[in-house]
Amino acid sequence: MNTLTSAPTLQVNEEGYLKNYQDWNRDWATEIAHQYNISLTPKHWDVLNWLRAKQAEGTALSVRKVGNSGIVDIKEFYALFPGGPLKISSRIAGIPKPASCI
Q: Which residues are catalytic?
A: 101
Site residues (vs other proteins, CB under 8 A): 14-15, 57-60, 62-65, 68-70, 74-75, 78, 82-84, 87, 97-102
- Residue 31, burial from CB neighbour count under 10 angstroms (0-12, 13-18, 19+): middle
Shortest reach from residue 28's CB to other proteins, in Å: 21
Q: d(Cα 30, Cα 74) in Å, to the nearest integer?
A: 22
Minimum distance between the CB of residue 66 and other proteins, rounded to whole angstroms? 8
**Nearest approach, Cβ of 62 to other proteins (angstroms)?**
5
**Residue with smaller CB distance to other proteins, 2 or 25:** 2
53 and 42 Cβ atoms separated by less than 8 Å: no
DSSP-derived letter for residue 71 is: S
